[in-house]
Structure 1
Amino acid sequence: MNRNFFSYLFLWVSLIILPEMVFSQSADFTIQDVKFESQGVTLAGSILKPKNPFAAVVIVHGSDPVKREMEFAKRLAKEGIAVLTYDKRGVGESGGVYVGPSVGTNNIDTTNLNLLSHDANEAVKTFRTYLKDKKIPIGLIGFSQAGWIIPIAASKNPQIEFMVLFSCPTITTLEQLRFQFYTNGNNSFWENHTEADAREHTKNDTDKYQFVATDPKISLNTLSIPGLWLFGEKDIQIPVKLCIEQLNTYKVQGKPFEHTLFSTLGHNTVFDSNTTPFDISIQWIKQKTLNIKKYKVSK
């Protein structure tokens, strides 16, 4: 009796003091909580690691005050991709201050976008230390606002080898705001407006806010890593066809940037019940990371 009691006590104490390692309901991957430093604050996240991952990604947030994207991360991990997802700065267990419209601050000014790109880069550096295979390709995957953050991060971090961007802009922050103010959250917007009309307002409307615009093209011009953008044609947050036009310019220049347009989808291309965008992104990651591995072997 006493022996059993002390055995259970030892097990209980061990579980408390050991680094937290939780095995998911699926036996396909493990989940480990991690913390890392970025620009003077501690950020908290989780690493989801399949037994033999073929690629690794860090998830970059959209604009909302969200915690780590565990459900999306599990979807990726079940496909054989190692994932680091973390609570956004100032949210959940992460330190710092969240910046965004919900708290009355501008989260797309240059200072904040650069700060969030630092967070993504520190996540990549931390993640690399947890990956057994040091040659496994690692990339960034994100949504919406991440369209400005990911190119900044990738342009400063050679460890980032590919990027996947769901409903992400390739235009400036001020242009995106002009379009968003014009659509005004109207889900029926495209039933009553033309592309030419929307483009005119995006290019020429008076700005309601005055701040230095971030132009993702500055960072994209420096990148030669593969990138995939997935858009919904009914998007009322970003002017999709204007963004695609810019990507086509890069393709003509020989940059390995690709895009896919889904005619029935809106802004939430990755969280819609239609899983086609997600499925396409997985196949694309498999193909590109295989090419990256072959290139490393041939060097």
Structure 2
Amino acid sequence: MLLKILKHVAFLLAIGLGAASALSAAPVDCRAGTYRLADGAIVDVAPSEGTALRWRRLDGTTGLLSGPGPEYRSTLGWTGRPAGIIVSFTPCADRGIRFGGTQGRRIDFDTTETSFRSGEVSLAGRLVLPRGAGPVPIVVLVHGSEHDSARELYSLQRLLPAMGIGAFVYDKRGTGGSGGAYTQNYLTLALDAVAAAREARRLAGGRAGPVGYQAGSQGGWVAPLAARIEPVDFVIVCFGLAVSPADEEREAIAYGVSRHGFGPAAVAQANDFAEASLTMLRSGFQDGYAQMEEARRRHGSAPWFRHVRGDVTHVLMQKSEEELRRIGPPLFAGLQLDYDPMPVLRNLDVPQLWILAEEDIDAPSAETARRLDALAAAGRPIRVAIFPGTEHGIYAFETTADDERLSTRQPEGYLRMMRDFILTRHLSGDYGAQLSGAR
């Protein structure tokens, strides 16, 4: 979860802290959109890294399109290997695509751009509805910890309407077209989500059916809090946690060491690195450097040391003190390391679906699943779905010789599961996941 922030570090170091908001000024690529192919399949195309595009299908497959065109050879997921799919686009005015030899045309949605207030801050949002006149469920998309524009990059804002569900996407404060300063204060972000849900209902008018939240990663702390402040009809949390951010880092360190065959003694020693990272974060990057060096001195030759990862620890260990003192404070502004989500979850009556990754190395899911199952047994309306063989983001992956993970796709049942829960608040079948909790 916190790792998304660190992925911006090298970029921001190179071109300045103002670059994150500058990204939102880039012109919208006219090829971005959702297409219906002649065989009935749906494919979404969204901006990705640099000038590249990324396609996604409802079955979870995905690939990167880059190069000069006019024909693009797709990769398999994030592996960089060719997928054997060639994609081309018609001139923008024609709104067409040729995907793997099958023609398709852009799907038209009812789209409304808006600006709305959350306290003193103006937030930029967009309501996307399937064409028609009747009411539809509306999903408010709640951010993770990223600094990017959700309106530019979130493919769910189109994939959900392609399945007959409305979506409201907004740039979190301090990103994209929204005002204010970036923050990780969960109460502030929850109040922003509440304001977004109100705006979605207002814009949809008579077309507004049930309204709820879908939240990924860090949004798993935000969306339940927002629903507790002002109830909605459902909450979906994907690869989120029911433990504190501090415990997330400790669990991630422990999981990284134990999954390579090391026992409790090694895990306890490796926790020294987690505590050093937490000292850095708690102090606003003013302290913790000597603590990290001492941990490295004591354990740097241990056989398990190369498996110390965590959510952010491995990145902090690679950066100089000067870099972290300069970049860390604005990137982690407002972070609440000791936020305990359990009081909210114990008292939340809104139907919830938690979708977790079994092999998540950034946000290990075992303790969260245990806590959620206990809440469900105590009567909370919580369903838990764990997709085996997946990592953060609910992505299947390959592992390279140097233990690097390369994401390939999402499970075939992932989007179907969300669709069914949004439409009915129930699940039918297992969707390829391990299910538990309230039925």
Deviations 1:22-74 (A, max 9, x none): x9764452221111011211100211011245311100001111212541210
Structure 1 counterpart SS, 2:390: coil
| 1:91 matched residue in structure 2 | 175
Shift of the alpha carbon at 1:239? 2.1
Shift of 1:151: 1.3
In 1, the alpha carbon distance for the partners of 2:422 and 2:194 equals 20
- In structure 2, the partner of 1:63 is 145
Identity among equivalent pairs (%): 26
- How far apart, CA to CA, are the structure 2 residues paired with 1:48 and 1:260? 27
> Contact conserved, 1:139 with 1:163, CA < 8 A, in 2?
yes
2:225 & 2:170 partners in 1: Cα distance?
A: 18
2:419 maps to amino acid? I
1:43 aligns with 2:123: yes
Cα deviation code 1:119-173 (max 9, x no counterpart): 1000011111112337611000010001110111010002x11000110001112
Over aligned residues, Cα RMSD in angstroms?
A: 3.0
Contact residue 167 and residue 230 of structure 1 kept, 8 A: yes
Q: Structure 1's 218 and 134: CA in aligned 2 closer, same or farther, altered over 3 A?
A: farther
Match of 2:259 among 162, 181, 190: 190
Q: CA deviation at 1:286?
A: 1.6
Partners of 1:38 and 1:122 within 8 A in 2: yes
Secondary structure of the equivalent of 1:137?
Answer: strand
SS in 2 for 1:140: strand
For the structure 1 residues 252 and 152, does the alpha-carbon distance in structure 2 shift closer, same or farther, using more than 3 Å as the test? same
2:372 to 247, 256, 271: 247
Q: How far apart are residue 178 of structure 1 and its match?
A: 1.9
Worse-superposed segment, 47-56 or 189-198: 189-198
Deviation sequence 1:207-259 (CA, Å, 0-9, x none): 43446611111111121111001111110111201000000111111111011
Shift, 1:198, TM fit: 6.6
CA pair 197-82 structure 1, distance change in 2 beyond 3 A? farther
Structure 1 residues 27-176: aligned runs within 5 Å: 27=107, 29-50=109-130, 51=132, 52-68=134-150, 69-99=153-183, 107=184, 112-133=185-206, 136-158=209-231, 160-176=232-248
Shift of 1:191: 4.2
CA distance in 2, matches of 1:77, 1:194: 47
Change (3 A) 1:212 1:67: closer
Partner-residue secondary structure (3-state), 2:177: coil
Equivalences for residues 283-294 of structure 1 within 5 A: 283-288=420-425
Out of 398, 401, 411, the position equivalent to 1:274 is: 411
Gap regions ≥5 residues in structure 2: 1-32, 35-94, 96-105, 283-335, 396-406, 428-439
Aligned residue type for 2:158: K
* 62-71 or 121-130: bigger deviation: 62-71
Gaps of 5+ in 1: 1-22, 100-106, 291-299
TM-score (norm: length of structure 1): 0.75
Checking the alignment, whether the CA contact within 8 Å between 1:199 and 1:239 is kept in structure 2 is: no
Corresponding residue SS for 1:133: helix
- The question of whether the paired residues in 2 share the 8 Å contact of 1:189 and 1:236 is answered with no
The SS at the match of 2:225 is helix
Rounded to whole Å, the distance in 1 between the matches of 2:176 and 2:258 is 35
Per the TM alignment, residue 117 of structure 1 is displaced from its structure 2 partner at its CA by 0.6
The CA distance in 1 between the partners of 2:265 and 2:168, in whole Å, is 40
Supply the distance in 2 between the matched residues of 1:76 and 1:193 (Cα, whole angstroms).
Answer: 43
Give 1:13's aligned residue: none
Letter in 2 for 1:238: A
User: For residue 236 of structure 2, what is the amino acid of its counterpart?
Assistant: V
Distance 1:286 1:174 in 2: 35
Q: How many residues align?
A: 252
SS at match of 1:131: helix
SS at match of 2:213: strand
The AA in structure 1 aligned to 2:249 is L
State the distance in 2 between where 1:222 and 1:273 align.
Answer: 32
